[in-house]
Structure 1
Amino acid sequence: MTATDQAISTARIAAAAAWDKQGQDLIAFDVSENLAITDIFLVVSASNERAVGAIVDEVERKLQAELGLRPTRREGDRENRWVLLDYLDVVIHIQHEEERELYSLERLWRDCPHIDLGLADAAAPSSED
């Protein structure tokens, strides 16, 4: 099984929204083979808490406006160090760059296929530890 077209479209819209708010090191993993609960993990970094909050707000706004979607779950927005937005088929992790480095989700999911987000300049982090 692979990620659905709808999940890929959702991830691309969310990625574009994050990129518009200076999200960094965007990467999406097709985790559908490994997890029954979701198809895609989208991971985004930001340099500070304010940027994390701005990215979260823009992703939510864009997915609501374009697809009529609201997250079924939102966690971590009080501290804005690592905010998780759960859209069922797509789970978006917006992390302060220090949390991103510490928890290294890329290392955990590196064996999963990457999804092309259609953002030419949003290259994934180069180190895969």
Structure 2
Amino acid sequence: MTAGSQSREMLNVAAAAAESKGGEDLVALDVSQPLPLVDIFLLVTGRSERNVAAIADEIEDRLLEAGHRRLRREGRQESRWVLLDFGDLVVHVFHEQERIYYGLERLWKDCPVVPIEVTAAAPAE
């Protein structure tokens, strides 16, 4: 089983939102083999608690606007590691230190990387 087209579309919306708020080091992993209820993990780094919160809020807002339903959100109050569960897509927005400490890339190293296709936003007129 591999990540489906809806999951990839959600990924691209979330990645664009993350980048618009300064999210860094975006990595998407296809976790559909070991986790049958989730297709993709998106990992994003923010430079401060405020940046982590802004990234997570923007991702959540854009996915909700696109018609996707959030199942769960955790960690928003501390904003060191915010988890957004949208079913097929789970987004992890980390503060730099937490990303290194928890090392999800190492834990899921056997999962294939999913290409992220972020389209540039149209310039404001």
SS in 2 for 1:29: strand
Counterpart residue number, 1:50: 50
Q: Distance in 2 between matches of 1:93 and 1:71?
A: 14
Q: Distance in 2 between matches of 1:45 and 1:119?
A: 16
SS in 1 for 2:73: strand
The amino acid across from 1:95 in the alignment is F
CA RMSD of aligned residues (A): 1.2
CA displacement 1:67-91 (0-9 Å, x = unmatched): 2123110001110000000000000
Contact 2:64 2:70 in 1 (8 A): no
SS in 2 for 1:19: helix
Runs of 4+ in structure 1 deviating by more than 3 angstroms, as ranges, are none
Give the Å deviation of 1:119.
Answer: 4.2
SS in 1 for 2:94: strand
The amino acid across from 1:74 in the alignment is R
TM-score in terms of structure 2 length? 0.91
Structure-to-structure mapping, 1:33-112, within 5 angstroms: 33-65=33-65, 67-112=66-111
Q: Distance in 2 between matches of 1:2 and 1:115?
A: 10
Q: Distance in 1 between matches of 2:117 and 2:3?
A: 16
Contact 2:72 2:85 in 1 (8 A): yes
- Alignment: residue pair count: 119
Q: Distance in 1 between matches of 2:37 and 2:61?
A: 24
TM-score in terms of structure 1 length? 0.89
